[in-house]
Structure 1
Amino acid sequence: MSTFDDRENAFEAKFAHDEEMQFKVNARANKLLGLWAAELLGKTGNAAEAYAKSVVVADFEEAGHEDVIRKVAGDLGDKASDGDIRNKLAESVKTAKSQLLDEV
């Protein structure tokens, strides 16, 4: 293999790794957001975990975070504003990145 092929393979491997990590960050951030929302809804234990999982699944509806925000906002009603949800999601993304980096 030539040096060019080696570099191409390395870039492809890095891209695949970065995409996988971004997927994991988003899934974990959505779970953290779901657990936060579950607490506001008064859910605990298995019910909170099930709700958090439903938030993670909601992210598969469309690209980006809007589907998750829409679900959580609809479920929370007047318990949290759209801004509160967006801020908590941003905080959850930072926490998820930190947690995943600590695991590596």
Structure 2
Amino acid sequence: MTTFDNREQAFEAKFAHDEEMQFKAEARCNKMLGLWAAAKMGKSGEQAETYAHTLVTASIEGSDPEDVVRKVTADLQGRATSDEIRQRRATLLPDAQAQILLETG
């Protein structure tokens, strides 16, 4: 293998790793958003965890973050606007990324 081939493989491996980390961070962020929304709906414990899990599942099925925002907006029934939900998600994402980085060391 040439140096170029090695560099290409290293770049591809890094890209795959970065994509995996971003996927995990998005899923963690959606879970955190789900727990926040569940609290606004008066859910706690197992009910809150179940709701948060539905958001993670929804985000996996449709990779557009707006799908999650639309679902939460509908579920909250006026308790928060789409803009508030987007803003909350934007503040949660860096926390989720930091948690994932800490877990993977």
Q: Distance in 2 between matches of 1:45 and 1:96?
A: 20
Q: CA deviation at 1:63?
A: 3.0
For 1:49, the equivalent position in structure 2 comes to 49
Q: Distance in 1 between matches of 2:8 and 2:83?
A: 42
Corresponding residue for 1:100? 100
Distance 1:31 1:60 in 2: 12
Conserved? CA contact 1:61–1:67, under 8 Å: no
Letter in 1 for 2:60: F
Q: Would the alpha carbon gap of residues 60 and 15 (structure 1) be closer, same or farther in structure 2, given more than 3 Å must change?
A: same
Q: 1:9-20 counterparts in 2 under 5 A?
A: 9-20=9-20
TM-score, normalised via structure 1 length: 0.94
Give the Å deviation of 1:49. Answer: 0.4
TM-score by length of 2: 0.94
Identity over aligned pairs, percent: 55
Match of 1:29 in 2: 29
User: What is the 5 A alignment of 1:56-67?
Assistant: 56-67=56-67
Partner of 1:89: 89
CA distance in 2, matches of 1:80, 1:89: 12
RMSD: 1.0
Unaligned runs of 5+ in 1: none
Distance in 2 (CA, whole Å) between partners of 1:52 and 1:43 is 11
What is the distance in 2 between the residues matched to 1:19 and 1:98?
A: 15
Please give the alpha-carbon distance, in whole angstroms, between the structure 1 residues aligned to 2:50 and 2:62: 21
1:3 corresponds to: 3
The number of residue pairs the alignment matches comes to 104
